[in-house]
Amino acid sequence: MRFIPTLLALLCTTLLLHAQFETDYIPLTSQGTLPQDFVTLSADKYEAEKSKLSKSEKRSERKSKEKFLLQTNFGLDEMLLSGKILFNDPASAYVSKVADNALASEPALRSQLRFYVLKSTAVNAFATNQGVICVTMGLLAQIENEAQLAFIICHEATHFKEKHSIERYLEADKIERGRGAYKKMAFDEMLIQKCAFSKEQEKEADNKGIEIYLKSNYSTTNLMGIYDVLKYAYLPFDDITFEKEFLENTYLKLPANYTLKETKEINTAEIDDEDEKSTHPSLKIRRKQTEEAIAGADNRGKKDCLTSQEEFNKIRELSRFELCRLYTLRRNYETGLYTSYMLLKRYPENLYLKKNVAFCLAGLAEYNGKGRFSDVHGNYLSVEGKSQDITYLIYKLDSIPGDLCIVSVAYITKLKKQYPDDKEIDELFNNQMLLLVDHHSMGYSSFSKFPPTPVQLIDSIVANTKETPKDDELKKSKYEKLREMEAETKVPTVVSGGRFTKFAFVEFMNEPWFKQAFEDARAKGKKARKAMSTEENTYQTRRYYNTVYAMGIKKIVVVDPYYARINNLSKDKYKYIKSEAGQVDFAERIKTNAKMAKLEAEVLNTKNLKSDETGKFNDLALMEEYISDRLHHSEDVDLPFAERNRINELAKKYDTDYFMWTGTISLTDKNRYLKGLTVLSVLLPFTLPLTMPKLIHGGQYTVFFALLY
């Protein structure tokens, strides 16, 4: 009867998880004090590491190592301060706990490592020469058990322990310089040598990593599934049937042929991709080597999970929620929609997931309406698994102008009625209504007030031949289902469909606020066009009279001002140390100039963060996500930021609506006027006072930019 306590524990874990994610979700942010990695200048880190280099080394070898340390320290800090890293949050704290258990036999090694989580959808982890190991959200969302994460940590710790990154850099440097045995090699041969070296390092990391793993208290019973995680990393975290009813309402019924009869099977065949030009050992070979290494392992007293199953499940679920927002922020709307849909099957009342679906639909509708659909839509024929249905459905909705926008408005309208006080839903609703009315020229009268007749409905109720999802579909993991599948590709077939969207809003047509929304959208579109025309005329006037106008702003927040020093005449063009020092100086100059201009300016600079300023770090991270989202949209695409409430909270916190991103690039290049000025100076010596400054400093250029939002 031992299974009863286990069953009860599993049931309690499930109930606790469901309670935590039942109605909403708050995105992860960094916590506690800022680690030393984030508050020490890159130049100081570089000098400290450089001082440890042996002075007895050859000059060329030492120079190469110094260059490596310079580039990697500054490159690492650029990533750490980019806003894409989490520390002291539940996910990174969990990874550190697993590292403690996995590396218990290597205390000296463990003491040199710091673990952070990278906000990335990729299924990956990597180690740096400085002892920083990053695990991605994508990996945490996909793993089946804690033991698999422990093995990944042992693998990456081995890369650090064996100094693989610096070895690879030095070897690559020799290959590029054509030294030693590489001197007479052709370019292609050199390239193969570079790849082969990387392959050997990966094998060593696997072999020595498993040695460390076997010394831990983690079991090998379910370890081998990690190679399935890596093999199917390109797929979503699960593979469940998408039901088109998810996007329907009482009278909006998607045609049956908008769903594939059968989705493309996932190719489960083992691919032998090992060859001499491969950069990494094939998974087939790595799997075999690991199986041989763990054969006969004694698992007595060992477990798949050394923290708690509850904590593992919680972190994996947190990571899956994070994937939803990451896909949306990166405009991967179709995957974001499917990921949210899968989680909504478990948490049907979760507002965060519903809003994410709304943003994904709005993004697809906006890009579709502005003629940039290919920027956000993938080819459904190349998609494997049941997520293909989403891509195919969106492809079909794109076939008739305006239909995708109507489906988007219908879904968001249903949300607006359910959550009338939610400002993000309200803003998104108004945005999509404007797209529908002003861009697609559809008004209130374009849609039916009455339900469709049986004849009109017939196309929508054609029986769908797709099998009903099995009861246990949600109970099995992606990998359990894939292991049961055979590698078989089936050609999808569809039947022709017809117009159906005129009934999309029947249940809302008698709502006064819904009818008013059409009128408001029409007025807003007209006003926007008039304002644009006036602005263009005003701009021409300002240019003609060269008049300077104040913007009437009392306070701005300057977000991480940028400075770069580049010398195109030098072999090492980017001047890391001067650039960092320039960024510190530039931030201070902004404050000085703002004071002179009687403008209150708060400068948030990543180069002077203090250990107790984690709140400021999180603010910078959110603002970097905001500006990245704004700049990556096409110029004519108008979408609200997906986490508008959080941005509004920042505006209140800093007591201003105005945030500025600014930077300066100081460039040394060839003097464009050298020949002409030299001839002029020789022929007309009296011009020397005028030409001399240009002859001496003519190759110095400064680029300045400022974006005010």
What is the per-residue pLDDT across 585-624, written as a single tens digit (0 to 9) for each?
A: 999 999 999 999 889 999 999 999 999 999 999 999 999 9
Q: Is the pLDDT of residue 327 over 50?
A: yes
**Burial class of residue 659 in the structure, from the number of CB atoms within 10 Å of its CB (0-12 exposed, 13-18 middle, 19+ buried):** buried
CA 13 from chain centre, in angstroms, equals 29
Q: Give the pLDDT score at 652.
A: 96
Q: Give the pLDDT score at 5.
A: 52
Alpha-carbon span 630 to 329, nearest angstrom? 10
Buried b (16+ CB within 10 A) or exposed e, 624-638: bbbbebeeebeeebe
Is the sign of the CA dihedral 692, 694, 695, 700 positive or negative?
positive
- In order, the DSSP letters of 657-694 are S-EEEEEEEEEE---TTHHHHHHHHHH-GGGHHHHHHH
Contact 99, 307 (CB under 8 A): no
Q: Give the pLDDT score at 689.
A: 73
Q: Pairing between strand 659-668 and 555-559?
A: parallel
Q: Give the pLDDT score at 492.
A: 32
Which residue in the block uniquely carries the two structure tokens 């930021």? 641
Provide the pLDDT confidence category of residue 674 given band limits of 50, 70 and 90. low
Is the sign of the CA dihedral 334, 336, 337, 343 positive or negative?
positive
Buried b (16+ CB within 10 A) or exposed e, 59-98: eeeeebbeebbbebbbebbeebbbbbbbbbbbbbbbbbbb
Whose CA is closest to 584, among 81, 47, 41?
41
Which residue in the block uniquely carries the two structure tokens 């948030």? 604
Q: Is the pLDDT of residue 274 over 70?
A: no
Which two three-digit tokens encode residue 469?
Answer: 């999802």
Considering the chain, what is the average pLDDT of its residues?
85
Crossing angle of the two packed helices 423-434 and 403-418, in degrees rounded to 10: 150
Give the residue-averaged pLDDT of 369-384: 93
Alpha-carbon span 136 to 383, nearest angstrom? 23
Whose CA is closest to 110, among 56, 144, 150?
150
What are the pLDDT digits (tens) for 74-87? 989 999 999 999 99
Q: Pairing between strand 600-604 and 555-559?
A: parallel
Q: Give the pLDDT score at 509.
A: 95
Quote the longest CA-to-CA distance of the chain. 105
Q: Which of 17-31, 115-129, 154-168, 667-681 has the lowest mean pLDDT?
A: 667-681
Provide the pLDDT confidence category of residue 534 given band limits of 50, 70 and 90. low
What residues have CB less than 8 Å from 348, skipping those under 6 apart?
none
Phi, then psi, of 500 in degrees rounded to 5 = -145, -15
Buried b (16+ CB within 10 A) or exposed e, 262-292: ebbbbbbeeeeeeeeeeeebbbebbbeebee
Q: Is the pLDDT of residue 14 over 90?
A: no
Whose CA is closest to 339, among 362, 323, 361?
323
Q: Give the pLDDT score at 182.
A: 45
Give the residue-averaged pLDDT of 268-275: 66
The SS3 call for residue 374 is helix
Give the residue-averaged pLDDT of 668-673: 74
Q: Which of 83-97, 267-281, 301-315, 584-598 has the lowest mean pLDDT?
A: 267-281
The SS3 call for residue 350 is coil
Q: Which of 75-79, 330-334, 485-489 has the lowest mean pLDDT?
A: 485-489
The SS3 call for residue 465 is coil
The SS3 call for residue 32 is coil
Which two three-digit tokens encode residue 79?
Answer: 């990533």
Higher-confidence residue of 674 and 307: namely 307
Q: Give the pLDDT score at 190.
A: 39
At position 466, the amino acid (one-letter code) is K
Length of the chain: 709
What are the pLDDT digits (tens) for 212-242? 999 999 999 999 999 999 999 999 999 999 9
Q: Is the pLDDT of residue 484 over 70?
A: no
Which two three-digit tokens encode residue 582?
Answer: 């320039």
Alpha-carbon span 235 to 383, nearest angstrom? 9
Q: Is the pLDDT of residue 444 over 90?
A: yes
Which two three-digit tokens encode residue 369?
Answer: 């309406």
Q: Pairing between strand 114-118 and 85-86?
A: antiparallel
3-state helix, strand, coil split of the chain in percent (to 5) is 55, 5, 35
Whose CA is closest to 140, among 226, 251, 35?
226
Q: Is 61 left (phi over 0), alpha (psi -120 to 50) or beta?
A: alpha
The SS3 call for residue 707 is strand
Contact 324, 340 (CB under 8 A): yes
Which two three-digit tokens encode residue 74?
Answer: 């500054």
Q: Give the pLDDT score at 528.
A: 82
Q: How many secondary structure helices (H) and strands (E) does the chain include? A: 26, 9
Provide the pLDDT confidence category of residue 640 given band limits of 50, 70 and 90. very high
Q: Give the pLDDT score at 493.
A: 29
In DSSP terms, 664 is beta-bridged to 563, 704
The SS3 call for residue 499 is coil
Which two three-digit tokens encode residue 603?
Answer: 């400068």
**HEC profile for 377-425?**
CCCHHHCCCCCHHHHHHHHHHCCCCCHHHHHHHHHHHHHHHHCCCCHHH
The SS3 call for residue 119 is coil
Q: Give the pLDDT score at 496.
A: 33
Alpha-carbon span 107 to 130, nearest angstrom? 17
Higher-confidence residue of 47 and 667: namely 47
Which residue in the block uniquely carries the two structure tokens 């770090």? 617
Q: Is the pLDDT of residue 37 over 60?
A: yes
Q: Which of 193-207, 266-280, 364-378, 560-574 has the lowest mean pLDDT?
A: 266-280
Alpha-carbon span 1 to 136, nearest angstrom? 39
Q: Is the pLDDT of residue 694 over 70?
A: no
What are the pLDDT digits (tens) for 379-394? 999 999 999 999 999 9
Alpha-carbon span 4 to 360, nearest angstrom? 43
Q: What percent of the chain has a predicted confidence (pLDDT) above 70?
A: 80
